[in-house]
Amino acid sequence: MSSMKIVDKADLGVYYDADICFMNKAWLQKVGLTKDIFIEMYRTNPSIGFEADGKQFGGAMMIDNSVHVAVLPEYQRRWSSLLRGLAVWIFSLQDPLIAKIPVANKVSVEFVRRQGWRCIAEDAAYITFELSLRGAPRSRFIRSLQQHVFAIRDARSAPECFENGTVANEPSLILNNRKADSVA
């Protein structure tokens, strides 16, 4: 797993496999959420894939104003080098956004709390946070994101910067392989 990067679109088949690892199998069967149905439901949602050594192992997808991340179990706690690129992608699409994190995912919950983002709901299964770069607490991680995200937003607002519907030389592509040193 020496070479990890973010790719333009999540492989929704891999994403589904990663997502269902933590779902109730009886519920999945009851509602009939098959891989084919999942792919059809979410094929047009904005997404990015996480790749290691040329093979996708998960990704992130925007659903309404929420971000959902799914990673295959064998890559859990091993993809922190992609966190900065993921955050730049997320905040360049939506700010603020909602992050609903399973209570059992203590690493993610603690990371979000360290950034100072606001908890807006909590129950036995999930802790929900509102994440925003506007007026956000000034952690080192957030300050590093603001510079890159605001540059992307500025570029997107200038029509001459677009090539085939995307921003030319988008800064997030540069960040994909940079280690998220401030996450630790």
> Residue 80: its pLDDT value, please?
84
* 105: amino acid identity, one letter: N
> Residue 22: its pLDDT value, please?
74
CB 174 within 8 A of CB 89: no
> Residue 40: its pLDDT value, please?
95
- CA-closest candidate to residue 16, choices 84, 88, 68, 77: 68
Q: What is the pLDDT of residues 64-90, one digit of tens each?
A: 877 888 999 999 888 888 988 998 898
Q: What is the pLDDT of residues 55-64, one digit of tens each?
A: 999 999 988 8
User: What band does 162 get if pLDDT is binned at 50, 70 and 90?
Assistant: very low
Q: Calculate mean pLDDT across residues 3-20.
A: 94
User: What band does 138 get if pLDDT is binned at 50, 70 and 90?
Assistant: low
User: What band does 36 get if pLDDT is binned at 50, 70 and 90?
Assistant: very high
Q: Calculate mean pLDDT across residues 105-110.
A: 86
Alpha-carbon dihedral sign for residues 36, 38, 39, 43: positive
User: What six digits make up the tokens of 124?
Assistant: 């036995």
Q: Calculate mean pLDDT across residues 131-142.
A: 72
